[in-house]
């Protein structure tokens, strides 16, 4: 099942404005790994999950307020990905992207 695998240009609509990044996803059964490269550098993750077209993963970023855990939940539809990201205790934001 390679429907999710690939690289995506994504945009997170965060409280600090739109943040562009590159998301790379790789599946192995129902396990999800990859990288998220953006303004805060590149974070890799290997404890994500995939169920059909639904994906979820978390990364840690260092911001002005210290470490923040970002929890992503999204759905891949064809070459598009979209979903929500929980920004630690700072609320949530939406994200969307397109496979490159």
Q: Considering the entire predicted model, what is its pTM?
A: 0.91
Those residues whose C-beta lies under 8 Å from the C-beta of residue 55, and which sit 6 or more positions away, are: 4, 25, 32, 48, 49, 72, 73, 74, 75, 76, 81, 83
All domains in the chain, ordered by first residue? 6-99 (2.40.128.120)
- Taking only the tens of pLDDT, the chain with its 100 residues reads 458 999 999 999 987 789 899 999 999 999 999 999 988 789 999 999 999 999 999 999 887 778 889 999 999 999 999 999 998 888 999 999 999 9
């Amino acid at each position: 099942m390679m429907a999710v695998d690939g690289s995506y240009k994504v945009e997170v609509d965060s409280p600090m404005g739109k943040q562009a990044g590159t998301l790379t996803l790789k599946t192995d059964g129902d396990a999800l790994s990859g990288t998220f490269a953006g303004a805060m550098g590149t974070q890799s993750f290997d404890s994500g999950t995939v169920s059909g077209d639904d994906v979820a993963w978390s990364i840690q970023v260092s911001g002005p307020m210290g470490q923040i855990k970002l929890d992503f939940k999204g759905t891949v539809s064809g070459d598009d990905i979209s979903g929500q990201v929980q920004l630690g205790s700072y609320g949530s934001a939406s994200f969307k992207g397109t496979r490159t």
